[in-house]
Chains A and B, each alone.
Chain A
Amino acid sequence: MEKLIEVKDLRIEFASGKKIVKAVNGVSFSLEKGKTIGLVGETGAGKTTTALGIMNLVPAPAGRIRGGEVLFKGEDLLTKTQQEMRQTRGNRISMIFQDPMTSLNPVFTVGDQIAEGLHLHTKLSALEATVKAQDMMERVGIPAARYNEYPHQFSGGMKQRVIIAIALACSPELLIADEPTTALDVTIQAQVLDMMRNIRNKLNTSMIMITHDLGVVKEICDQVAVMYAGQIIESGSLKQIYKNPQHPYTEGLFKSLPKINENTERLIPIKGIMPDPTNLPEGCSFASRCPIADKSCVNIRQLSKEIEKGHFIRCMKRS
């Protein structure tokens, strides 16, 4: 299978006063056409920044891409000009954001907002764009009759569907979804995830799903990359990560979750907190919280090693 996107050693920094926040430290992964990868991690792990890096949208001047390549069908997106990127964004790569309440412009009808991308990126006539937008609305489960309604007339779940329709209007090859269901209630989340899964299968869109919810990842992803302090510390197929987690952090994440399908008297939390991103340790950034770490972990840079086919971890104790 051809690789649709390949991220190689991506590094992104933010200047915060005199300090430098190392948000992304050498992230590498690749995604085949039609597949979905889940980027999982806690707040501050660098998931969203990685996504912004791929879109070449890191907010300047505070943020800077310090190195790496983002190969989209073999072309490096990081070397493109903003002009060229504008033709890619929203057309070949789309991104949806977490908050459905603020992502829509309150003064335009939802139909016009869906059609806007089509006007920008295709040569469709106004009428054709409207028809296409209505078709998109039906696909995400909104009656086309609501074309001329305004965002405030939609509920949270419906707004998120509109946003997904906007993102998919130009049939992008890659969709980056940043916590698309976090703001929604469980029953609505189930509806939206179901819809996203169907659409993805129909349009053969590849997806990067950013989330902190391991349950959501299981629902929709084929591959998983677990992020911690700006690095992917473990990656592999869904089965590999869920059935056989190897990195102590991934293990810790699964153990600290209360389970609905089994009874646990007491949770096993991961002790401590994530290290300060302005002052990351030389070696393994998880060492201070790790139950199996020793002195050498703190000092030696952890390299990504393949422990079985397609299953990578950054932990010298386990590889």
Chain B
Amino acid sequence: MQELVRVENLKKYFKTPLGMLHAVDDVSFSIKQNTTLGVVGESGCGKSTLGRTALHLLKSTDGKIFFEGKDVTNVNKRQLRQLRRNMQIIFQDPFSSLNPRMCVKDIIIEPLKIYKVCKSKGELEDKAVELMSTVGLSTRLALSYPHELDGGRRQRIGVARALALNPKFIICDEPVSALDVSIQAQILNLMQDLQKERDLTYLFITHNLSVVKHISDEILVMYLGKVIEYAKTEDLFARPLHPYTQALLSAIPVPDYDYVQKRVLLKGEISSPIEPQKCCRFAGRCPAAQEICFKQEPKMVDMGIRHLTACHFAGQVNLL
């Protein structure tokens, strides 16, 4: 399989009155075509910023982004327009991500209008019908407005809009977090079907570990802007190496009566990513932290077949 997207040492800093906020700090990953890379982490870990920077919605501070082997880090306006045809995004909030003053059909065909893909009005209409049936929206809703529909249908509109230009790569920013479980399953199935049919590649951002396990081939765990573990899904869940990943996995409440889990309760809460110290960013909450963790930043090391983790005691700590 071919590599579609590669990101090398990507950084995104924001200027704040208190100093530089390291939202994304030195993140590298690559995604093969027709696979899904899941990005997990708690709020404020920089996962959404990562997605938006990769999509050029935010300008990166440093690092490189490759798409289909080409360096697309610094593109001009025209190249960016072409790039956007191939890279799309699905947003978290199906309420605010749709313009309340546009009807369903207009929202879906807007990308086609912008890129002047269709020659005639009739072709546009055909395309709208086709897209709506692809995502499972009844065509009688074409003239409805977003506020008249439930969350699941709205999210389908968002998916249809992202698909309109036939992109190769879609960034999914918490696409099911705002949905109820029964609807969440509908959308997840739809996204999996679309991936198979259209050979899509996903960057799937979420805080929900069960969802990310279900949909991803590989997973990136982030903490305060840093990647702390990067592995194949099976490996990560079978043998989490970083103490944060271990704590995260143990904290999920599992709705299974017989499932007993050992719980690692972390002390304190996530600290601020503004002007972080040169040390392990998790050290302050880590139950296994030692002196070196507060003094030196751990490097990413490969602990097996593409199972990377950034911990001084990788492979030696097991909290579970």
Per-residue CB contact flags for chain A residues 198-229 toward chain B (1 = under 8 Å, else 0) read 00000000000000111111110000000000
Determine whether A187 belongs to the interface, using a CB cutoff of 8 Å to chain B: yes
Q: Tell me the smallest distance from the CB of A184 to a CB of chain B, in Å.
A: 9
Smallest Cβ-Cβ distance to A239: which chain B residue:
B257
B251, B257, B259: the one within 8 Å of A186 (CB): B251
A157: chain B residues at CB < 8 Å are 269
Residue pair A218, B180 in contact (C-beta under 8 Å) = no
A43 within 8 Å of B (CB atoms):
yes
Docked-complex contact A243 and B257, CB < 8 angstroms: yes
Contact A218 B188 (CB under 8 A): no
The docked-state distance in angstroms from the alpha carbon of A242 to that of B257 is 6
**Contact among B186, B215, B237, B263 for A269, CB-based, below 8 A:** B186
Tell yes or no: B117 within 8 A of A by CB.
no
Within A268-296, the residues touching B (CB, 8 Å) are: 268-271, 273-274
Q: Is the CB of B42 within 8 A of A212?
A: no
Across the interface, which residues of A come within 8 angstroms of B180, CB to CB?
A: 42-43, 212
- CB contact between B183 and one of A155, A187, A269 (< 8 Å): that residue: A269
Are B182 and A190 in touch, CB under 8 angstroms? no
B250 CB to nearest chain A CB (Å) = 8
A256 within 8 A of B: yes
- Contact between A215 and B255, CB atoms less than 8 A apart: yes
**Which one of A156, A157, A188, A258 has the highest number of Cβ atoms from chain B below 10 Å of its Cβ?**
A258
Q: Check A85 for interface membership: any CB of B closer than 8 A.
A: no
Is A252 an interface position by the 8 A CB rule? Answer: yes
Q: Size of chain B's interface in residues, with CB distance under 8 A?
A: 42
Please tell me if the beta carbons of B207 and A186 are within 8 angstroms of each other in the complex.
yes
Smallest distance from the beta carbon of B289 to chain A beta carbons, Å? 16
Chain A residues in 8 Å Cβ range of B192: 266
Q: Quick one: CB contact mask for B253-265 with A, threshold 8 Å, 1 for yes?
A: 1111111000101
- Measured between beta carbons, the chain A residues less than 8 angstroms from B43 are 185
List chain A residues, Cβ under 8 A from B266. Answer: 187, 190-191
* Contacting residues, chain A, for B151 (C-beta < 8 A): 43
Question: Closest CB-CB distance, B273 to chain A, in whole Å?
Answer: 14
A186 to B244: give the CA distance in the assembly, Å. 12
Q: How many residues of A contact B (CB 8 A)?
A: 45
CB of A217 within 8 A of CB of B214, answer: no
Residue in chain A with minimal CB distance to B263: A190
Question: A145 near B: Cβ within 8 Å?
Answer: no
A127 contacts partner chain B, Cβ-Cβ < 8 Å: no
Which chain B residues (157-186) contact chain A, with CB distance < 8 Å? Answer: 180-186
A214 to B184, CA, bound (A): 14
Residues in A neighbouring B300, C-beta threshold 8 A? none
User: Are A269 and B256 in contact (CB-based, < 8 A)?
Assistant: no
Query: In the complex the two chains form, is A189's CB within 8 Å of B251's CB?
Result: yes
Query: How far apart are the CA atoms of A218 and B250 in the complex, in Å?
Result: 14
A158, B269: Cβ atoms closer than 8 Å: yes
CB–CB B269/A273 < 8 A: no
Residue-wise, chain A 233-248 has the 8 Å CB interface mask toward B (1 for contact) of 0000011001100000
Q: Is B254 a contact of A261 with CB atoms below 8 Å? A: yes
In the assembled complex, A193 has its CB within 8 A of some CB on chain B: yes
A264 CB within 8 Å of chain B: yes
Tell me, yes or no, whether A194 is within 8 Å of chain B by CB: yes
Is residue A60 within 8 Å, beta carbon to beta carbon, of the partner chain? no
Given A219-B253, A260-B254, answer yes or no on A194-B265 (Cβ-Cβ < 8 Å): yes
A19 at interface (Cβ–Cβ under 8 A)? no
Give Cα A119–Cα B269 distance, bound, in whole angstroms. Answer: 32
Report chain B residues within 8 Å CB of A270: 182, 185
What is the bound-complex CA distance between A158 and B258, given in angstroms?
A: 31
Q: Is A307 an interface residue (CB 8 A)?
A: no
B185 touches A269 (CB 8 A): yes
When distances are taken between beta carbons in the complex, the residues of chain A under 8 Å from B184 are: 256, 269
Known contacts: A257-B185, A264-B214. The answer to whether A188 contacts B269 by CB under 8 A is yes
Least CB separation from A252: chain B residue: B182
Q: Is there an interface contact between B252 and A260, defined as CB atoms closer than 8 Å?
A: yes
Tell me the smallest distance from the CB of A132 to a CB of chain B, in Å.
26
Kindly list chain A residues whose C-beta atoms are within 8 Å of the C-beta of B237. 260
Which residue in chain B gives the minimum CB-CB distance to A260?
Answer: B210
B64 close to A (CB within 8 Å): no
Say whether B270 faces chain A, with CB atoms less than 8 Å apart. yes
Interface flags for B57-87 (1: CB within 8 Å of A; 0: not) read: 0000000000000000000000000000000
- Bitwise, A44-64 to B at CB < 8 A (1) or not (0) is 000000000000000000000
A187 vs B250: C-alpha distance in the bound complex, in angstroms?
A: 9
Considering the chains assembled together, what is the distance between the CA atoms of A212 and B151 in angstroms? Answer: 15
Query: Which 4 pairs show the lowest CB-CB distances between chains A and B?
Result: A215-B253, A269-B185, A214-B255, A258-B214
17 contacts between A and B (CB under 8 A): A43-B151, A185-B43, A190-B263, A191-B265, A191-B266, A215-B255, A216-B253, A218-B256, A257-B181, A259-B256, A260-B249, A261-B256, A266-B192, A269-B183, A269-B184, A269-B186, A273-B150
Binding site for A on B (CB under 8 A): 42-43, 150-153, 180-186, 188-189, 192, 207, 209-211, 213-215, 237, 247-259, 263, 265-266, 269-270
Given contacts A185-B270, A259-B256, 5 further A-B contacts (CB under 8 A): A188-B269, A218-B257, A258-B185, A269-B186, A273-B153
A: residues with CB less than 8 A from B are: 42-43, 155-158, 185-191, 193-194, 212-219, 238-239, 242-243, 252-254, 256-261, 264, 266-271, 273-274
